[in-house]
């Protein structure tokens, strides 16, 4: 389903009280006007806010290629109240919500399962099936580069401006951006005492053991930083 159809369906939500997955954060869409910023909505506190339609399209594109989507991960660094676009999409009849690791996710289910302007939590059996698909995709996903930076938030935001994907925290000071082709890591230069730059990931033919190393995804990587060469070398 393309976003043109989704946008037409969002029109059907105008004027309805849309309950949020997070209790107490309901909203009402007042109008859709691209000249005024896209979506004009009113929050539960009565405040009128604007949300760009491009934000919803970005999330929708992720939903078409992934079993489930964590909206906050997709909109990392894209402003506050990220539950609002989540609420709008979750109130469409072909979108359901679920929790993974106590984090809210939404998913396109391919058919109408509830009415416009209502929420539906995904059935347990369907959650299990989608979790299996996630695990399989993780096995097939390749970690191919790491960006070491002193400003992770801004760097991820800059990357997401042209490379969509979901951001999750791997561990303290290390984040991953999952794209359609693989994983990109973002590592805090200050926390991990690494020189800033983009590090390629290579596999050593012989065992190497440089002074600096990282353990990522349960595997041991030596850090090479010599002149123009920056690399994470996976030891066999």
pLDDT over 70 for what percent of the chain?
90
Closest CA to 61 of 160, 176, 185: 160
Q: Highest mean pLDDT range out of 41-45, 49-53, 87-91, 131-135? A: 87-91
39: tokens are 């979506």
The pair of three-digit structure tokens given for residue 154, joined into one six-digit string: 């801004």
205-227 per-position pLDDT tens digit: 666 656 788 888 777 788 988 88
Distance, in Å, from the CA atom of 148 to the CA atom of 80, rounded to the nearest integer, reads: 25
| Distant-in-sequence, close-in-space partners of 191: CB < 8 Å, separation ≥ 6 | 172, 173
169-209 pLDDT per residue, tens: 877 889 888 887 778 999 999 999 899 999 999 887 666 65
């Amino acid at each position: 389903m393309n976003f043109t159809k989704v946008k037409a369906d969002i029109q059907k939500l105008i004027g309805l009280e849309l309950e949020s997955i997070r209790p107490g954060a309901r909203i009402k869409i007042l109008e859709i006007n691209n000249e005024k910023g896209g979506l004009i909505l009113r929050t539960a506190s009565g405040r009128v806010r604007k949300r760009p339609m491009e934000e919803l399209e970005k999330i929708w594109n992720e939903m078409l290629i992934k079993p489930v989507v964590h909206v906050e991960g997709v909109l990392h660094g894209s402003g506050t109240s990220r539950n609002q676009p989540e609420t709008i999409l979750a109130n469409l009849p072909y979108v359901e919500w679920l929790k993974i690791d106590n984090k809210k996710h939404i998913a396109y289910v391919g058919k109408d399962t509830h009415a416009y302007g209502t929420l539906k939590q995904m059935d347990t059996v369907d959650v299990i099936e989608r979790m299996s698909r996630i695990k399989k995709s993780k096995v097939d996903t390749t970690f191919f580069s790491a960006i070491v930076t002193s400003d992770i938030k801004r760097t991820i935001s800059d990357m997401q401006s042209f490379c969509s994907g979901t951001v999750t925290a791997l561990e303290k000071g290390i984040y991953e951006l999952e794209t359609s082709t693989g994983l990109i890591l973002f590592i805090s230069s200050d926390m991990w005492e690494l020189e800033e730059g983009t590090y390629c990931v290579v596999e050593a033919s012989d065992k190497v053991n440089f002074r600096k190393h990282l353990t990522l995804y349960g595997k041991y990587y030596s850090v090479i930083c010599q002149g123009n060469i920056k690399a994470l070398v996976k030891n066999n």
